[in-house]
């Protein structure tokens, strides 16, 4: 009976985690949409949605503690609960960075910088894809998908460096866009950090399977 109850609790915990993951995934998509369309109302909704993410983090932490104290899981079950505790700060940071992107939207003019037409939408899609794959790798315990997602971070890092250089060149050519260019530099940095947090989730997926925390 106790084993059955533990299985039910672990399944409920995964559902809570999945809900939080999906929420921050949508926050990234909506923050980029708000940016590209200069939609300040949508940006405000995304910015304020971070409150839900913070509450979800607390709720999942409490659920983990409840399982630890009341059911005292051992071996693989203990490792599963402990890795959830390790993963949720990364999910919270992903939500916070999507919120930060939304918070920048009202500060940007209607002028378009070069990266906005090309690299920014691409980086946004890659960030969403990395988060989605990191979620699926963790929930399904799919190490192969985790490794694929970790490799995608090299593309994200490369794009960040490319956009950074483009923005520097644009400022040299037209100093009037300097303020907007700096804002966009912050945005692509937030996207690059989202990729880093997705990698962290994938590393915990690997740990949950191997029992070793390897840095990739």
This prediction has a pTM of 0.92
Q: What is the DSSP letter of 141?
A: T
Question: What CATH number is attached to the domain comprising 175?
Answer: 1.20.58.220
Residue 103 in any domain: the answer is: yes
Q: Are 71 and 6 in contact (CB under 8 A)?
A: yes
Q: Confirm whether 24 is domain-assigned.
A: yes
Give the domain range for residue 169: 2-210
> Is 215 among the domain residues?
no
Residue 216 lies in a domain: no
Q: Please check whether residue 56 is in contact with residue 163, taking contact to mean a CB–CB distance below 8 angstroms.
A: no
Please count the residues of the chain: 216
Q: Does the pLDDT at position 143 exceed 80?
A: yes
DSSP, residue by residue, 89-108: HHHHHHHHHHHHHHHHGGGS
Predicted local confidence at residue 119, as pLDDT: 85
pLDDT digits (tens, 9 = 90+) for 71-130: 888 888 898 999 999 999 999 999 999 999 999 999 988 776 766 777 888 999 999 999
Give the pLDDT confidence score for residue 1 in this predicted structure.
39
- Evaluate whether residue 46 is within a structural domain: yes
CA distance 100 to 190: 8
Structural domain tally of the chain?
Answer: 1
- For residue range 125-139, list pLDDT tens digits in order: 999 999 999 999 999
């Amino acid at each position: 009976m106790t084993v059955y109850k533990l299985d039910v609790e672990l399944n409920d915990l995964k559902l809570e985690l999945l809900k939080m993951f999906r929420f921050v995934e949508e926050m990234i998509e909506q923050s980029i949409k708000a940016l590209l369309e200069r939609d300040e109302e949508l940006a405000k909704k995304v910015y304020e949605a971070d409150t839900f993410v913070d509450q979800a983090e607390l709720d999942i932490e409490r659920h983990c503690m409840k399982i630890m104290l009341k059911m005292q899981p051992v071996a693989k079950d203990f490792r599963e609960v402990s890795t959830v505790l390790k993963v949720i700060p990364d999910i919270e940071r992903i939500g916070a960075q999507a919120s930060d992107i939304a918070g920048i939207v009202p500060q940007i003019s209607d002028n378009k910088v070069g990266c906005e037409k090309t690299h920014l939408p691409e980086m946004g899609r890659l960030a969403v894809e990395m988060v989605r794959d990191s979620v699926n790798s963790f929930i399904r315990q799919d190490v192969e998908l985790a490794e694929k997602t970790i490799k995608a971070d090299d593309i994200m890092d490369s794009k960040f460096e490319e956009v950074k250089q483009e923005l520097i060149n644009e400022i040299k050519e037209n100093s009037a866009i300097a303020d907007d260019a700096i804002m966009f530099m912050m945005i692509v940095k937030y996207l690059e950090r989202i990729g880093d947090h997705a990698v962290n989730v994938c590393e915990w997926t690997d740990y949950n399977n191997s029992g070793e925390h390897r840095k990739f």
